[in-house]
Amino acid sequence: MIQVRLARYDELAAMLEVAMLSFEETFAPHNTREDMDIFYRDNYTLEKMQQEFRQPNTALFLALDEERVLGFVRLRKNDEVKEKLGDSTLELQRLYIHPQHQGKRIGSLLMEKALEYAKGLKVDWMWLGVWERNFNAQKFYAKWGFERFGEHTFLHGTDPQIDWLLKRKV
Ligand SMILES: CC(C)(COP(=O)(O)OP(=O)(O)OC[C@H]1O[C@@H](n2cnc3c(N)ncnc32)[C@H](O)[C@@H]1OP(=O)(O)O)[C@@H](O)C(=O)NCCC(=O)NCCS
């Protein structure tokens, strides 16, 4: 029985492991080892996860089977897309499912929870950035009704890459 709930501080290490496995599988085939390692160093350390955990205006939900972490979603309020979507937005910043558990609707469970949380905040839009070549994730977001509204450049290690910006009415 899969449970979705807010993450605890002592679960961050397990979440980091899931994030790295999932990120590695999705992005390593298309990027240099050097860029992957720079990205991990700058983004995926336990210290960084702990810092992010304490940030206000964020929420972290995870999916568990018994006590095993299968995936997580991080949400945050910010004004990055204010010019395009206005003030009432929530960013779906990270969504990662363990590679051995993808395609089992765990991402969908986390998306449901994210939308429920957004409704509770009474925001108008949920938005996110997805790599232009991450076709599986794009397909997933399209199923969830997300539409493209722009793009931004994202530095992956030393490589500037394009992220599509997707939005969905809450
Ligand atoms: C993208 C991701 C979050 C989706 O979560 P998931 O639990 O695997 O997805 P679900 O089982 O809920 O799938 C829902 C739909 O998405 C699509 N989909 C998801 N993963 C897919 C995959 N690996 N291959 C093809 N289609 C996929 C399918 O169309 C599926 O619809 P269906 O059930 O009608 O076939 C997950 O696969 C993941 O963590 N991927 C790697 C990391 C990543 O890219 N994160 C997003 C960064 S922006």
Reported as a single tens digit per residue, the pLDDT across 72-115 is 999 999 999 999 999 999 999 999 999 999 999 999 999 999 99
**Nearest protein Cα to ligand 1, atom 21:** 136
In short, whether 133's Cβ falls inside 6 Å of ligand 1 is no
Ligand 1 atom nearest the C-alpha of 128 is 48
Reported as a single tens digit per residue, the pLDDT across 122-151 is 999 999 999 999 999 999 999 999 999 999
Domains assigned to the chain? 2-124 (3.40.630.30)
Residues 170, 158: Cα–Cα separation, whole Å: 35
Query: What's the mean per-residue pLDDT of the chain?
Result: 96
Residues 147, 81: Cα–Cα separation, whole Å: 14
